[in-house]
């Protein structure tokens, strides 16, 4: 596979897996402690042409990691602590596989980094909101993305064997940046001194043992003879701080069946239709006729077939399909079909059962799916016409879209709807609700929308500021068509930059810093000759040739 081969020529990536099919991880459970062991199959890369040596990883490794974190939450809710360790001797993880990156097109690199970042944020969310802290037990060399994985954990234990170090060697070795938030987590999360962080990030060999502990790069060290015992002690210490979960019974995450042909993928509740020549796609979520079970016990019995949960899982998979498998799609037209009353009733059920672990986990999952929508580098236009139900949780999808067009036609009534979940239960990466972000300069307007709980007619939605424009039946079809053709004709590079800037108004958080820097700087650096040119560091790594740099500082 050449470095310039377009992603669409590759075999489509599947995002569904199961522990029985893992090639790179082993997941076991013992008395409330989950142990996730990295054992990467060198021959198990997603594409031919590279070996995953030294527990280095590609997207396939991280798809399994994301699946494991999800299954811990839902299938093993008794878990009180997660330990991430490695099966290789003297190696924890060498980070992202360099030959894979070298042979990948630019868009693939960026989407790979984005997915791995979302997975690490899910690991942090596991601790912050699900009460399951994590320990990285680094039994050997922990480099690049391997250290970034450790940074996403609550505690880091490093073996003190005079050889093993932690490192972020991307700048001196590859002329790129740590792609999944390593720099930000180093200074914002672990609060390592800036000057020490500067030294650390330019040391190819990294920092070992006691100095790593002194500088705050790790939380504990142990010699090889006591490493396993210290790992288990720290895990028990973390687990002891959580609530007793032994009475919880997990919910199986069943596979998402789908039908597909050349131009569409159809799940039970979600349909993705692709018009590649026009560079557009239609993404339609269809709600059921009834809101579903109301009591927590019945909801848990429905499990992953609970329509609210299943529809969100299908939407999540559709977004990943668009990102990774459909790079030529520029604009996504989003609709939610169904009854506003059903959407609002379902939200009331979610809000009314927040004390149930499963319902709460589903609501947290909804938050993560909506963040995935926020971070997807496609233009989204939400179209509220007859038969649509942008209400409650599903109103969030419209608020996440770049524009929301509403049909205002007395002959074909259109309604949106507001629920209590729109008040902050599904926050963005900036820590604000989408309503607060929308009305950043007019907070009273966000409050006014929340006071209008329930269905909202199209004309009133426009008055409240929810619609980009309310169009009558005469203008609807032609104006929407013109807007769509215009958007799909613009440079996707310019649109990605524009959208990433406009979507995240408001305060900076660790999350927005990571994604903002990834979108802007890593995106830029990944295209610079110093990294990916014929004599760039990424191209020369592992060869006898030394990189040649243009030393002009921008």
Cα 374 to chain centroid distance, Å, stands at 10
* Dihedral angle of Cα 195, 197, 203, 208, to the nearest 10 degrees: 110
Helix, strand, coil proportions of the chain in percent (round to 5)?
Answer: 45, 15, 40
The first and second tokens of residue 485, run together, are 């053709």
Contact predicate 1/103, CB 8 Å: yes
Q: Is residue 74 situated within a structural domain?
A: yes
Residue 156 CB contacts under 8 Å (≥ 6 apart), including other chains? 135, 136, 138, 150, 166, 217, 218, 219, 220
Length of the chain: 554
- Whether residue 313 is found in the same domain as residue 224: no
- Whether residue 230 is found in the same domain as residue 272: no
- Whether residue 338 is found in the same domain as residue 482: yes
Q: What is the CA radius of gyration of the chain?
A: 24
Q: Is residue 172 situated within a structural domain?
A: no
- Note down pLDDT in tens along the chain; length 554 residues: 333 333 444 589 999 999 999 999 999 999 999 999 999 999 999 999 999 999 999 999 999 999 999 999 999 999 999 999 999 999 999 999 999 999 999 889 989 999 999 999 999 999 999 999 999 999 999 999 999 999 999 999 999 998 999 999 999 999 998 888 899 999 999 999 999 999 999 999 999 999 999 999 999 999 999 999 999 999 999 999 888 898 999 999 999 999 999 999 999 999 999 999 999 999 999 999 999 899 999 999 999 999 999 999 999 999 999 999 999 999 999 999 999 999 999 999 999 999 999 999 999 999 999 999 999 999 999 999 999 999 999 999 999 999 999 999 988 899 999 999 999 999 999 999 999 999 999 999 999 999 999 999 998 999 999 999 999 999 999 999 999 999 999 999 889 889 988 998 999 999 999 888 766 677 788 888 999 999 999 899 989 999 999 898 87
Among 380, 384, 451, smallest CA distance to 413 is for 384
- Predicted confidence at residue 519, as pLDDT, reads 64
- Whether residue 284 is found in the same domain as residue 157: no
> Residue 172 is inside which H or E element, if any?
helix 170-174
- Whether residue 341 is found in the same domain as residue 214: no
The first and second tokens of residue 193, run together, are 């001194």
Q: Is residue 96 situated within a structural domain?
A: yes
The residues with which 260 forms a beta bridge, in sequence order, are: 265
Among 308, 268, 516, smallest CA distance to 426 is for 308
Domain coverage including residue 148: 14-165+208-240
- Whether residue 233 is found in the same domain as residue 267: no
Q: How far is CA 320 from CA 73, 324, 343, in A?
A: 20, 6, 24
- Whether residue 75 is found in the same domain as residue 221: yes
- Whether residue 153 is found in the same domain as residue 227: yes
Question: How far, in Å, CA of 219 to CA of 135, rounded?
Answer: 10
- Predicted confidence at residue 5, as pLDDT, reads 37
- Whether residue 216 is found in the same domain as residue 285: no
Contact predicate 477/435, CB 8 Å: no
- Whether residue 235 is found in the same domain as residue 270: no
- Whether residue 223 is found in the same domain as residue 287: no
Q: Is residue 511 situated within a structural domain?
A: no
Start-end of H helices in 353-463: 357-374, 393-400, 434-438, 443-450, 458-463
Q: Is residue 95 situated within a structural domain?
A: yes
- Whether residue 330 is found in the same domain as residue 375: yes
Nearest 5°: phi and psi at 427? -70, 160
Question: Any idea what the CATH number is for the domain that residue 409 is in?
Answer: 3.90.226.10
Contact predicate 393/419, CB 8 Å: yes
Q: Work out how many domains the chain is built from and give that number.
A: 2
Among 501, 493, 505, 395, smallest CA distance to 450 is for 395
Question: How far, in Å, CA of 129 to CA of 152, rounded?
Answer: 14
User: 314: how many CB neighbours lie within 10 A of its CB?
Assistant: 23
Q: Is residue 134 situated within a structural domain?
A: yes
């Amino acid at each position: 596979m050449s470095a310039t081969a377009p992603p669409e020529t590759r075999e489509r990536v599947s995002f569904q897996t199961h522990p029985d099919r893992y090639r790179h991880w082993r997941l076991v459970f013992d008395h409330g402690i989950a142990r996730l062991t990295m054992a990467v199959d060198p021959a198990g890369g997603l594409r031919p042409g590279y070996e995953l040596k030294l527990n280095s990883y590609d997207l396939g490794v991280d798809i399994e990691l994301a699946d494991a974190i999800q299954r811990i939450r839902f299938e093993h809710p008794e878990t009180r602590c997660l330990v991430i360790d490695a099966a290789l001797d003297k190696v924890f993880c060498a980070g992202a596989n360099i030959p894979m990156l070298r042979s990948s097109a630019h868009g693939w690199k960026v989407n790979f980094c984005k997915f791995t970042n979302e997975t690490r944020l899910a690991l942090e969310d596991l601790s912050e909101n699900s009460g399951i802290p994590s320990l990285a037990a680094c039994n050997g060399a922990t480099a690049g993305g391997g250290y970034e994985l450790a940074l996403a954990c609550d505690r880091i234990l490093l073996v003190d064997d005079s050889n093993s170090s932690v490192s972020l060697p991307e700048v001196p070795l590859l002329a790129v940046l740590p792609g999944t938030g390593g720099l930000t987590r180093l200074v914002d999360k672990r609060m390592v001194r800036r000057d020490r962080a500067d030294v650390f990030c330019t040391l190819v060999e990294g920092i070992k043992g006691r100095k790593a502990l002194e500088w705050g790069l790790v939380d504990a060290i142990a010699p090889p003879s006591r490493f396993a015992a210290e790992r288990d002690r720290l895990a028990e210490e973390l687990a002891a701080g959580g609530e007793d979960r032994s009475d919880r019974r997990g919910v199986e995450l069943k596979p998402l069946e789908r039908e597909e042909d050349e131009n569409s993928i159809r799940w039970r509740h979600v349909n993705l239709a692709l018009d590649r020549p026009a560079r557009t796609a239609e993404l339609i979520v269809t709600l059921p006729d009834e809101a579903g079970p109301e009591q927590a016990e019945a909801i848990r019995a429905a499990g992953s077939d609970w329509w609210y949960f299943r529809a969100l899982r299908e939407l999540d998979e559709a977004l990943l399909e668009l990102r990774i498998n459909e790079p030529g799609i520029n604009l996504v037209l989003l609709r939610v079909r169904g009854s506003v009353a059903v959407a609002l009733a379902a939200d009331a059920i979610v809000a009314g059962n927040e004390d149930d672990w499963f319902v709460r986990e589903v609501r947290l999952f909804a938050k993560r799916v909506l963040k995935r929508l926020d971070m997807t580098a496609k233009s989204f236009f939400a179209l509220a016409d007859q038969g649509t139900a942008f209400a409650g949780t599903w109103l969030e999808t419209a608020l996440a879209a770049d524009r929301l067009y509403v049909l205002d036609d007395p002959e074909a009534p259109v309604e949106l709807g507001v629920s209590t979940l729109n008040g902050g239960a599904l926050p963005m990466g900036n820590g604000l609700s989408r309503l607060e972000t929308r009305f950043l300069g007019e907070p009273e307007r966000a409050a006014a929308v929340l006071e209008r709980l329930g269905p909202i007619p199209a004309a009133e939605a426009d008055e409240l500021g929810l619609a980009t424009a309310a169009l009558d039946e005469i203008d609807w079809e032609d104006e929407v068509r013109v807007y769509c053709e215009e958007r799909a004709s613009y440079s996707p590079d310019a649109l990605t930059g524009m959208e990433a800037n406009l979507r995240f108004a408001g305060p900076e958080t660790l999350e927005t810093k990571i994604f903002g820097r990834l979108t802007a700087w890593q995106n830029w650096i990944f295209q610079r000759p110093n990294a990916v040119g014929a004599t760039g560091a990424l191209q020369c790594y592992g060869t006898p040739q030394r990189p040649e740099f243009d030393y002009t500082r921008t």
